[in-house]
Amino acid sequence: QVRFVESGGGLVQPGGSLRLSCVVSGSTSDYYAIGWFRQAPGKEREGVSCLSTSAGDTYYADSVKGRFTISRDNAENTVYLQMNSLKPEDTAIYYCATDSIMPCTRIATMIGDPRWGQGIQVTVSS
């Protein structure tokens, strides 16, 4: 069973920044893919950013390209999501995720055996 400890969410004004952190059980290299999803009220959960651990390739949803950056710290078993130039439409619950079967898809989703953390609220509002 994968365990997640997510942190870094909160309330920020439009144009501001936040950095989400997620400590996963074991090593980030134990998974084919690690990344972040989000779900806004009334909408389906969507892939935001994904990192395929073997090749180090990163993928982003079109809506966040150029604003969000995913990274990892193997020594700390942690994956980060740096979010800049935040918009009100970025408001959602953000979920850390891993996939132990398949790497990321090119649209920043996971289709093998994705597991999600409990989620953390990000609110962008003035």
Distance from C-alpha of 59 to C-alpha of 78, rounded to nearest angstrom: 17
3-state secondary structure of 28: helix
How confident is the model over 53-109, as pLDDT tens digits? 998 999 999 999 999 999 999 888 999 999 999 999 999 999 999 999 999 999 999
pLDDT of residue 1: 84
pLDDT of residue 58: 96
Neighbours of 69 (CB within 10 A): 15
Distance from C-alpha of 110 to C-alpha of 126, rounded to nearest angstrom: 33
Chain centroid, CA 111 distance in Å: 15
In order of 15, 93, 97, the CA distances from 19 in angstroms are: 14, 14, 16
pLDDT of residue 27: 85
How confident is the model over 33-63, as pLDDT tens digits? 999 999 999 999 999 999 999 989 999 999 9
Question: Rg of the chain's alpha carbons, rounded to an integer?
Answer: 13
Distance from C-alpha of 58 to C-alpha of 9, rounded to nearest angstrom: 22
For residues 22-39, average pLDDT: 93
Q: Over 90: is that where the pLDDT of 114 sits?
A: yes
Look up residue 14 and give its two tokens: 């439009």
pLDDT of residue 93: 98
For residues 1-16, average pLDDT: 95
